[in-house]
Amino acid sequence: EVQLVESGGGLVKPGGSLRLSCAASGFTFTNAWMNWVRQAPGKGLEWVGRIRTKADGGTTAYAAPVKGRFIISTDDSKNTLFLEMNSLKTEDTGVYYCSAGPSWGQGTLVTVSS
């Protein structure tokens, strides 16, 4: 059974940093393109970015609002996906989900507030 478990969310001040993790199991992690998606309170889904497998170049792509501030990476030895978030803004507040293929985690809440 595919499982994706996000962690690392919490309260952070504007301008601060946070690193989210997504622990994956039940599938071959190194074969999966991984995505981060977020959802602001009461709002719709927003694609944040994705990372390709190393076999496909390992490259990343980001949505315009987070480009230059967020970094996606993986630790293939631990089957874990990361989202490093820097220079956080209040508008980055929301639930952050990781996804792999058709599977989604349950999300982790990030609150950016002073």
Q: How many residues touch other proteins (CB under 8 A)? A: 17
Task: Write out the DSSP string of 74-92.
Answer: EEGGGTEEEEEE-S--GGG
Give the footprint of other proteins on residues 91-110 (CB under 8 A): 97, 102-107
Calpha distance 113→102 (Å, rounded): 32
Give the footprint of other proteins on residues 41-60 (CB under 8 A): 44-47, 50
Of 16, 61, 68, 76, the one binding other proteins (CB under 8 A) is 61
Helices (H), 24-113: none
Q: Which is nearer to other proteins, 29 or 97 (CB)?
A: 97
Calpha distance 108→95 (Å, rounded): 5
Q: Which is nearer to other proteins, 80 or 107 (CB)?
A: 107
